[in-house]
Amino acid sequence: MRSADLALLNAERAARRAVVLVTELATGEQRVLTAAEVPDDPLGTEIAARILSGKSGLVERNGHSFFLTVHVPPVRLIVIGAVHISQALAPAARLAGLDVAIIDPRTAFAASERFPDARLLAEWPDDVLPGLALDRYTAVALVTHDPKIDDQALVAALRADCFYIGALGSRATHAKRLDRMRAHGFQDEDLARIRAPIGLDISAVSPAEIAISIVAEIIGAMRKKPARAEALG
């Protein structure tokens, strides 16, 4: 690989952007495509599909064979609230291949013995989220039921390009939440991105059932074309 291509590949990966190495098998010729360049490439449709799946693979076009080496950032789940649901959500999300971080400034909740295998940040969302650099490969789940905590993270998520934003609470609670977000200047099209009540409607009751419904909803959002195809813009 040419040094310039390697530098570009590493830079895109460091910036948590999708990037693809295209290798023509017959000639060994290679090129690196950033996400922004994919739509205009002759193999754009095939490459976009590969980015959507997150998997590398062989593509045939007009008698030529190309191997697409796909690099997409690890999908992250940021959970706001170290509550009972989060105790079930963290292992379920990791099982689905998500990188999980839990944020809660309340040290009585954000205790390592309650989350022995999770990245736990006992800080206010306003303080820690800027360093996490929310992006289009980030899902955010708001489960504290405390607007003083959830709203900070919701504002950050709406201002970022997170592919999934879910919020716990009844429809009445969510209506009040939307009013508070409008006071922050968000429009209805912004607020439509919030999945509330959070999780797929499977009549979940227990924390474990709710956690499963949330992970399933995140996977659905992650695998739909809009969630990943926007990364090509």
pLDDT band at 122 (very low <50, low <70, confident <90, very high): very high
Res. 232: pLDDT tops 80: no
Contact 51, 231 (CB under 8 A): yes
Among the listed residues 129, 112, 128, 132, the one whose alpha carbon sits nearest the alpha carbon of residue 120:
112
Domain holding 27, by residue range, is 3-71
Residue that terminates a domain, selected from 48, 71, 94: 71
- pLDDT for residue 178 is more than 70: yes
Mean pLDDT calculated for residue range 203-217: 95
Predicted structure pTM score: 0.81
Give yes or no for residue 217 having a pLDDT over 50.
yes
Same-domain pairing of 64 and 114:
no
| Residue that terminates a domain, selected from 22, 55, 71 | 71
Same domain membership, residue 22 and residue 101: no
Tell me, yes or no, whether 31 and 107 share the same domain: no
